[in-house]
């Protein structure tokens, strides 16, 4: 009985929030009063927490149509309501308002909410977290080296392992609630946990094989050479792992070239990609980036398969050196994964993107012994990106969304619709915003998340056929 009351209360709050947002958006956002009225009129019917039909209609989905301009300046985004016909996990047809709809199909109601492309959390540690347990702040970091943190982790891991499956599933649910159903998770390979962290992560992912896609990086958190885990890393490659990880080859392994060579050799021997944590900002960090670019240039099998996570050393480069380095990264298909850090390190993310380097983002830690600040929200990363790089106008706000969606945007740079189109995967999230620019600036809650046509988080309305 208590659960039924809770479900009913959530449904009531959801509908109330949608109505409130519709009114607020009419006065403050880019949505016209007519569009806000459409949204308000659509917020009717019972909410649904399960959509598992193979072929159905999702009505009153707000999609972006084009930019509105004053001269050459984008001042607003035009949207319209559509009914999405979803079949076999894909968007079969986009039916414009007023179109004759196929008869006999189950019909659900999006309540005039905006559809955004699937979010992608491309740097997270699902295998080790305090999330789901009692509050626990990290220990003070002042005066602590990375080796001190590794020593602390060696004591913590045995305590985290017994509940790591459940906590990983909790993190997956959090990501889905924020609109992410695609991720890349780094997973500890170390002498303390052996392959147990990986085994537990795979158990959690197996439970979500139909509603969540996740690449795995075998991550030698305690140093590839320092912890002597080359053999374990190679075993991990045979367990469905897609990427070989690495960590600060100078600060942790004390042998930059030897450490990087060992990491790349595992990748070459197994045909896998590489995703290394590189926090070093000293000249050694710059040397590591250059050495990795050199290695990819010499081994074309690695081209397009190497990610440098964090890459803080890029913040130390002079503009002309950064330009040259970015050009080399782009030419070799090397990706940068950034958490869009705030503070003293101002990552040159726009410069990298302009040079053709693919830049993606991720949570890193939600809450663990490293940091308590992660929210699991990729839309929040776009918000940070826009603030840090002065994307406060309609056009730049809308472009900032790209870092959170793997480059997928509702409108192309020229304002033509790029997403969604018939044939696309039916993966998206619904939110009470008038357009993607407003969503980036205001970070509204996501009310529903779909993955391959399945409702995996949140609620939608049930409409009469």
DSSP output for 381-410: HHHHHHHHTT--SHHHHHHHGGGGTTT--S
* DSSP summary character for residue 424: S
* Confidence tier at 31 by pLDDT (50, 70, 90): very low
Give the pLDDT band of residue 46 (cuts 50, 70, 90).
low
pLDDT number for residue 415: 97
18-32, 210-224, 396-410: segment of lowest average pLDDT: 18-32
- Residue ranges of alpha helices (H) inside 218-282 are 230-237, 256-270
Mean pLDDT along residues 362-379: 95
* pLDDT band, very low/low/confident/very high, at 146 (cuts 50, 70, 90): confident
Identify the band that residue 48 occupies on the pLDDT scale cut at 50, 70 and 90. Answer: low
Residue 62 dihedral angles phi and psi, to the nearest 5°: -85, 125
pLDDT band at residue 207, thresholds of 50, 70 and 90?
very high
- The DSSP call for residue 140 is P
For 288-300, what is the mean pLDDT? 98
Q: Do 401 and 382 touch, CB atoms closer than 8 A?
A: yes
Confidence of residue 376 (pLDDT cuts 50, 70, 90): very high
Q: Which residues pair with 245 in a beta bridge?
A: 275
pLDDT of residue 142: 86
User: For residues 213 and 235, what is the distance between their CA atoms, to the nearest angstrom?
Assistant: 22
Beta bridge partners, 430, equal: 115, 448
> Of all residues in the chain, what percent carry a pLDDT higher than 90?
85
Specify the pLDDT at position 9.
27
Q: What is the mean pLDDT of residues 346-359?
A: 97
Set out the domains of the chain in order of their start, with CATH numbers: 2-117+423-462 (2.30.40.10), 120-376 (3.20.20.140)
What integer is the mean pLDDT of 286-311?
98
Q: Is residue 49 scored above 80 in pLDDT?
A: no
What pLDDT band is residue 352 in, cutting at 50, 70 and 90? very high
> Mean pLDDT lowest for which of 9-23, 59-73, 380-394?
9-23
Task: Compute the distance between CA of residue 43 and CA of residue 113 in angstroms, rounded to an integer.
Answer: 9
In angstroms, the CA 241 to CA 186 distance is 10
- Band (120; pLDDT cuts 50, 70, 90): very high
Could you tell me which residue, 344 or 441, shows the higher pLDDT?
Answer: 441
Q: What is the mean pLDDT of residues 305-326?
A: 98
pLDDT computed for residue 47 by the predictor: 65
Other Cβ atoms within 10 Å of 66 Cβ, number: 16
Quick one: average pLDDT of 65-74? 97
Q: DSSP per residue over 359-386, as a string?
A: EEE--B-SSSSS-S-----HHHHHHHHH
Q: Which residue(s) pair with 59 in the sheet? A: 109
Cα 337 to Cα 350: distance, rounded to the nearest angstrom: 13
pLDDT above 70 as % of the chain: 89
Residues 349 and 341: their CA atoms lie apart, in Å, by 11
Q: pLDDT tens digit string along 184-196?
A: 999 999 999 999 9
| pLDDT of the residue at 45 | 39
Region 264-274: mean pLDDT is 98
The CA distances from residue 249 to 227, 259, 385, in Å, are: 12, 6, 28
Phi/psi for 450 (5° steps) reads -115, 140
Q: What is the model's pTM?
A: 0.88
Angle between helices 2-28 and 33-42 (to 10 degrees): 170
Lowest-confidence region among 11-20, 34-43, 174-183, 347-356: 11-20
Read off the pLDDT band of 344 (50, 70, 90): confident
> What integer pLDDT is reported at residue 39 of this predicted model?
38
pLDDT score of 26 more than 90? no
């Amino acid at each position: 009985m208590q659960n039924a009351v809770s479900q009913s209360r959530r449904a009531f709050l959801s509908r109330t929030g949608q109505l409130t947002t519709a009114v607020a958006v009419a006065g403050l956002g880019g949505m016209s009063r007519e569009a806000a009225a459409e949204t308000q009129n659509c917020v009717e019917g019972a909410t649904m927490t399960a959509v598992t039909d193979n072929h159905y209609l999702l009505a009153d989905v707000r999609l972006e149509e084009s930019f509105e301009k004053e001269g050459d300046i984008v001042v607003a985004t035009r949207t319209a309501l559509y009914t999405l016909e979803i079949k076999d996990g894909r968007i079969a047809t986009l039916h414009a308002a007023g179109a004759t709809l196929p008869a006999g199909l189950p019909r659900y109601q999006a309540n005039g909410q905006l559809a955004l492309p699937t979010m992608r959390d491309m740097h997270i540690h699902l295998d080790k977290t305090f999330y789901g347990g009692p509050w626990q702040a990290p220990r003070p970091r002042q005066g602590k080296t990375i080796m001190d943190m590794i020593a602390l982790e060696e004591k913590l891991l045995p305590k985290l392992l017994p509940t790591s499956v459940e906590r990983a599933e909790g993190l997956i649910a959090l990501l889905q609630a924020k609109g992410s159903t695609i991720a890349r998770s780094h997973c500890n390979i170390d002498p303390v946990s052996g392959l147990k962290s990986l085994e537990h992560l795979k158990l959690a992912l197996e439970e979500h094989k139909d509603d969540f896609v996740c690449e795995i990086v075998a991550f030698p958190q305690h140093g590839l050479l320092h912890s002597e885990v080359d053999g374990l890393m190679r075993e991990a490659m045979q367990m469905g792992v897609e990427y070989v990880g690495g960590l600060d080859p100078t600060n942790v392994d004390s042998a930059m070239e030897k450490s990087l060579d060992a990491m790349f050799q595992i990748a070459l021997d197994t045909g896998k990609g590489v995703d290394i944590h590189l926090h070093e900002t000293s000249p050694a960090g710059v040397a590591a980036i250059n050495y990795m670019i050199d290695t990819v240039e010499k081994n074309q099998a690695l081209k397009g398969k190497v990610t440098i996570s964090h890459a803080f050393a890029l913040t130390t480069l002079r503009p002309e050196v950064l330009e040259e380095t970015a050009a080399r990264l782009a030419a070799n298909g090397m990706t940068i994964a950034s958490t869009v850090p705030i503070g003293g390190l101002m990552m040159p993310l726009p410069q990298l993107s302009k040079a053709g380097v693919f830049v993606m983002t991720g949570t890193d830690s939600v809450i663990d012994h490293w940091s308590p600040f992660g929210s699991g929200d990729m839309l929040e990363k776009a918000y940070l990106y826009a603030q840090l790089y002065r994307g406060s106008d309609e056009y730049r706000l809308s472009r900032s969304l790209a870092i959170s969606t793997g480059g997928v945007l509702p409108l192309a740079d020229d304002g033509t619709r790029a997403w969604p189109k018939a044939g696309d995967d039916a993966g998206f999230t619904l939110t009470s915003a008038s357009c993607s620019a407003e969503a980036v600036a205001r970070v509204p809650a996501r009310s529903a998340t779909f993955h391959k046509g399945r409702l995996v988080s949140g609620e939608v309305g049930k409409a009469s056929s």
